[in-house]
Amino acid sequence: MAKTILPIGPYHPLQEEPEFFTLTVEGERITDIDVRVGYNHRGIEKLSESRTFDQSTFVIERICGICSTSHPFAYTRAVEDIFPMEVPERAKYIRTIIAEGERIHSHLLWLGLAGHFLGYNTVYMWAWKLREEILDVMEILSGNRNNYAMFKPGGVRRDIKPEDIPAALKKIDAIVPTLEMLKNAVIDDPVLHARTKGVGILSKADSIRYSAVGPTARASGVARDLRKNCPYGAYDKVEWDMIVTQNGDVFDKAVVRILETFESIKIIKACLEHLPEGEIDANITSVPPGEGIGHIEAPRGETFHYVRSDGTNRPVRHKVRAPTYMNLPTFKATIVGETLSDATIILASIDPCYCCTERMAVRDETGRKLLHGQDLVRLSREKTERIRREMGVEPQ
């Protein structure tokens, strides 16, 4: 059967970020995939070397918009690991609150996009409408919808005022019923089961070989979560569960993320209700020579920062490793053998954040373009309609 190369990208409406995949197909089956990255490479590691430790936090925050807290969190922990030192209790709780708020908004964002790719535009609109409520909560607590600028080496930059907490709690409680409705709409829908169960399976052995992280690994049965294994912040002081499933397909990845959102709500509420009094900043004046490593569980997996200092006020080396960097290569294991109509949802299921990975899209050597990105979305939605008809389900 003739082999054809199918480029997806770099700028097509499926993904906000430019990335380029080249799928080699035989008929309808995908036989190979190549990912080309680098369209977002901005040389941030080199920029860090010409900024002071405190200024670096602002650059680091703009590595990624969706997971914008996880990078400063890991970076400040890396700088504190050079000493090594602990930040005050209140700072730990505030950091946890901001990090979990971000996890909720990131998972809701993913849920909306996944619905969009499958043709469930209602899920897309509802999930993003719900996301606005969480962004309001973050605005009450930190002053901004996305780049919170709350972290600094040694603690947090601003405090949470006691009079803001009741308003934030009230808004969080108001989200829960809609979230329940979304969860049931997704988990109980038979058409979604047919579309996503058994699709894009990442086995446990592959997950370990590629060192996949985050929900991508937890959906394959790898029971590891940095918040439980290497506790930081206030995660060891509140009650919550790690969500692990066994099958490793797209459905499991969705389930892990949805259930994690409920756990995050538990954590935020517990932290807001039991916020301890005290200092929010350890007031670091200078960083000693040495090296430090900070890693935290971001919405997509483990974010890892390494900082080396020589006693001056600028880092000598700052290494950033985002979770999607380890998860992207798993495409080779999950998408080969699947059909074209499933390509888009499998690619989206690892929740790729290309800006974090600073990656670019694939190039097509032959220059033949048979299907546009839009055609792939259309294929994906047609498959959903076909399954609906077969099952006798009412169209949405």
Q: Is 369 in the site for another protein (CB under 8 A)?
A: no
In angstroms, give the least distance from the CB of 378 to another protein.
Answer: 10
Span interacting with another protein, options 94-102, 152-160, 204-212, 234-242, rule CB under 8 A:
204-212
Q: Which of residues 25-44 bind another protein (CB under 8 A)?
A: 37-44
Please name every residue paired with 317 in a beta bridge, in sequence order, or none if there are none.
Answer: 308
Binder to another protein among 326, 335, 340, 350 (CB under 8 A)?
Answer: 326
> Quick one: which of 319, 371, 379, 387 contacts another protein (CB under 8 A)?
319
Nearest distance in Å: CB 362, another protein: 11
What is the per-residue binding string for another protein in 333-362, x denoting contact by CB under 8 A? --------------------x-x--xxx--
Give the residue with the Cβ less far from another protein, 166 or 231.
231
Q: Interface mask (CB under 8 A) for another protein, residues 55-74, using x and -?
A: ---xx--xxxxx-x------
Residues 278-317 that bind another protein (CB under 8 A): 291, 293, 295, 302, 304, 306, 308, 316-317
Pick 191 or 353: Cβ nearer another protein: 353
Write out the chain in H/E/C secondary structure: CCEEEEEECCCCCCCCCCCEEEEEEECCEEEEEEEECCCCCCCHHHHHCCCCHHHHHHHHHCCCCCCCCHHHHHHHHHHHHHCCCCCCHHHHHHHHHHHHHHHHHHHHHHHHHHHHHHCCHHHHHHHHHHHHHHHHHHHHHHCCCCCCCCEECCEECCCCCHHHHHHHHHHHHHHHHHHHHHHHHHHCCHHHHHHHCCCCCCCHHHHHHCCCCCHHHHCCCCCCCHHHHCCCCCCCCCCCCCCCCCCCCHHHHHHHHHHHHHHHHHHHHHHHHCCCCCCCECCCCCCCCEEEEEEEEECCEEEEEEEEECCCCCEEEEEEECHHHHHHHHHHHHHCCCEHHHHHHHHHHCCCCHHHHCCCCCCCCCCCCCCCHHHHHHHHHHHHHHHHHHHCCCCC
Contact map string, positions 88 to 127, toward another protein, x by CB under 8 A: ---------------------x--x-----------xx--
Name the residue with tokens 């997996």. 301
Q: Which is nearer to another protein, 93 or 304 (CB)?
A: 304
Report, in Å, the least distance between residue 58 CB and another protein. 7
Residue 209 touching another protein (CB under 8 A): yes
Which of 45, 180, 236, 390 touches another protein (CB under 8 A)? Answer: 45
Binding site for another protein (CB under 8 A): 10-11, 13, 16-18, 37-47, 50, 58-59, 62-66, 68, 81, 84, 109, 112, 124-125, 128-129, 132, 145-147, 208-211, 213, 224, 226, 229-230, 291, 293, 295, 302, 304, 306, 308, 316-317, 319, 321, 325-326, 328-329, 353, 355, 358-360, 372, 374
